[in-house]
Amino acid sequence: MVKHIVAFKLKGTAEARLAAAKRFKAALEALPEQIDVLKSIEVGLNENPAESWDVVLTAVVDKMEDVEVYAKHPAHVAAAALLAECKESRACVDYNF
């Protein structure tokens, strides 16, 4: 099994970042029903204003190759596009567990 963990830092006002993060979260949480290789996904929105990252997701797939299948799936591409205008930074870690 592979965990795919991604953190996003968004730009804009606090209100704009939160609105974008909520739309993104809703889109991501719908993905397991649309992408067969995606076993689970958890999306968290930062609640600590002292920290600068806004959204984190943890997705689980069976094998490393499935991360690419997930990433290229049209439903994932559409979800990722929701942050296109407001994404400042992205950090990612993929590991077997």
Q: Which domains does the chain have, with CATH numbers?
A: 2-96 (3.30.70.100)
Q: Is 3 helix (H, G, I), strand (E, B) or coil?
A: strand
Q: Binning pLDDT at 50, 70 and 90, where does residue 60 land?
A: very high
- pLDDT tens figures, 3-58: 999 999 999 999 999 999 999 999 999 999 999 999 999 999 999 988 989 999 99
Q: 38-45 and 87-96: which strand pairing?
A: unpaired
3-state SS string over 37-88?
A: CEEEEEEEECCCCCCCCCEEEEEEECCHHHHHHHHHCHHHHHHHHCCCCCEE
CA-to-CA distance for 55 and 34, rounded, in angstroms?
21
Structure tokens at 8: 């996003």
| Assessment of whether the complete model's pTM goes beyond 0.85 | yes
